[in-house]
Amino acid sequence: MNKNKNSFLFKDISSLKGVGKITKAYLEKKRIEKVKDLLCDLPHSIIDRSKISKIKELEIGKIATLKVKVSKYNFPRIRNLPNKVICSDNDNKINIIFFNSFEGYIRKVLPIGKDVIISGKIHYYKKNYQITNPTYIKLAEQKEELTKIFPKYSLTEGLNEKIYRSLIHNVINNISHDYDWYKKDFLKKNNFNRLKTTLNNLHNPVKKIDIFSNDYRRLAYDEILANLLVLLSSRKSVRSATKSKKKYQDKFSKILLNNFSYNLTNDQKLVLKSLDQDLKSEKRMFRLLQGDVGSGKTVLAFLAAANVIESGYQVAFMAPTEILANQHFDQAKKLFSSINIKIEILTGNTSSKNKKKIKLGLADGSIKLLIGTHSLFQKKIDFSNLGFIIIDEQHKFGVNQRVRLAKKGGDNCDILSMSATPIPRTMMLSIFGDMDLSILKEKPKNRKNIITLLKPENKISEIWPLIKKQLSEDKQVFWVCPLIDDSKKLNYSSAIKKFEIIKKKFPNDSGLLHGSLDNQEKDKILVKFLKKEIKILVSTTVIEVGINFPDANIIVIENSNKFGLSQLHQLRGRVGRGIHESYCIMLYKNNLSQNAKKRLKILRKTNDGFLIADEDLKIRGHGDILGFQQSGIKDFRFADPIHHKDLFLLAEKQIKNMNIKDFKNYEDLINFYDRVNLVNDIAN
């Protein structure tokens, strides 16, 4: 593999000849800090100089290559004015403009009466075509020396295209031909080139880069495998130690089940069985419970918590927001009312006096279940015998945070994470590959389907009677807009403008919620809505995840075509949580495209979040599907879960057949794709 010979790839970019302080600063603006970062910056297009254009065929703003005769010089004697050379092909003229070029140089490269090949960007000034500071100039007899196709990169101001290409060319030339992290038979079997050949082909393309080409697929596969290796390291770190088995007789969980007014679904029973097996095992639970909106995840988490408490351990339940933590606290008090255990809540707003009491209760073991936000895992919060951590809305936390959380709990602590965001399988693998997975698709039988309606905005008057009727029956309404304020550029409805309109129609029933409010203000408004002091809540998408308002049975979403399908499904899930018929009304502009209508109709046809997530991925791509940064892991640069699905499956297969000792063979791969810091975080 010649690792040492190629260690220069991981050195600072300033180690390259020709990269001084100024160039380094420009490169760092492009996030190029190490030598290998240059290689990951693929050209976005190509410049084809093989076609010789006629002046009369030129397109303004396009790069063109011309064969012209040099006719006349114009060297002004006034400083700072540009030099001009007039050239022609037959009866058509073009001006070649030079700034900061000496007269002697221009006479040398563009001799009068000679035919020359000139390439550059075409401009139009004072009724004449012109090229300013042409990229290439060659005498016509030197035509064969003119490179035909050039890669085009996205460069910041201050970076020269020619020098940038030269840097990349020199780096590739210095890579050993036999340097790779894969064996020859693996490369041959999967039709991959060696790393040097792959990079050389991608940086010297004969046509625009194709994500289906073997060379591009090779980089995509590298990136996927690097990601899965980090998750494998996480999995190994969490499960390296054995734990004491949790011992219980299901006494507490059976009491809770007897208090339910409904039966568990088949999916819930299967998941509960998996949780039971994990808790009673010597291997630590590190499981993700992924369930669609309203599938009953929280109930299962509390049933598992009851078993852990029965076995003599404490439980911590972490929610992403204070209002969600309060809802879980209220639900827990009701569920556990027939079991004599102490439950407390800890958030950023907990008073110092109560914090002291909670700390004492955790230390002496009297508090069995603690619910809260990130405050639960401050350094000063110590549990006497923590045996189970439940994390709600797992997508808020990255792989390194998951591992730190696991270590906080100690070797005997099991971890259950929950997410209501359906994610396609290929993305699940790349984000949560370090965790076991349980999926809840079936919804409780007492839940009614939400009626989804599509309406053009010019028929908004038709929905006012429905809203008025629901308010008279003591129901509540969400009204969601994409923006806070009006936008001149985008024809979206703003939350503030809509709030003013609704306030006039329903003066004593309206409230406004948006992301510019601080957390305390948001929580105050949401509590008012929960207490039904507000009947219509006009909001941006901050109400998207997790919060339960059982009396909200209508959600109106303006400019619905501007949202992704998964996000619309999450918003729709804010209603339909009680026993009443619920409605999701999606408003759209009159000039909606057929494709946009087709997307919205998918939501009208199905309430299956997993099916919707797959459709969303096909339509929007992996960059937007989740609506959040891939926690703790940089977004994929090359890999695409739709177009490279087979590569994800191939990487999964390779990981399964890999011994942990093989991990060392891929250290350069992990470093090449910027995953090394994550591995170090996990190891420490």
Give residues with Cβ within 8 angstroms of 652, minimum separation 6. Answer: 228, 429, 433
In the chain, count H helices and then E strands: 23, 22
CA distance 199 to 209: 12
Has residue 324 got a pLDDT over 70?
A: yes
Q: Find where tokens 């109709």 sit.
A: 601
| pLDDT value for 247 | 93
Most confident residue range from 219-223, 370-374, 478-482, 591-595: 219-223
Spatial contact of 297 and 440, defined as CB atoms under 8 Å apart: yes
Section 276-302 average pLDDT: 87
pLDDT one-digit tens code per residue, 8-19: 999 999 999 889
| pLDDT value for 52 | 85
0.75 surpassed by pTM: no
| pLDDT value for 457 | 85
Spatial contact of 26 and 156, defined as CB atoms under 8 Å apart: yes
Q: What is the DSSP letter of 209?
A: -
Kindly report which listed range (50-59, 249-258, 299-308, 426-435) carries the lowest average pLDDT score.
426-435
Has residue 627 got a pLDDT over 50?
A: no
pLDDT one-digit tens code per residue, 389-444: 998 875 555 555 666 666 666 778 888 988 876 666 656 666 666 677 888 887 77
| pLDDT value for 624 | 41
191 or 374, greater pLDDT: 191
Please give the helix or strand (H or E) that residue 157 lies within, else none. Answer: none
Kindly report which listed range (50-64, 79-93, 130-144, 475-489) carries the lowest average pLDDT score.
475-489
Spatial contact of 443 and 660, defined as CB atoms under 8 Å apart: no
CA distance 443 to 424: 19
Section 513-532 average pLDDT: 79
Give ∠ CA 348-350-351 in degrees, rounded to 5.
125
| pLDDT value for 179 | 93
| pLDDT value for 401 | 61
| pLDDT value for 2 | 55
Q: Mean pLDDT score of the chain, rounded to an integer?
A: 82
DSSP string, 470-526: HHHTT-EEEEE-SBSS--SSS-PPBHHHHHHHHHHHSTTTEEEE-TTS-HHHHHHHH
Has residue 682 got a pLDDT over 50?
A: no
Section 154-163 average pLDDT: 82
Has residue 614 got a pLDDT over 60?
A: yes
Q: What is the DSSP letter of 143?
A: G
What percent of the chain is modeled with pLDDT above 90? 27
Has residue 368 got a pLDDT over 90?
A: yes
Section 658-662 average pLDDT: 72
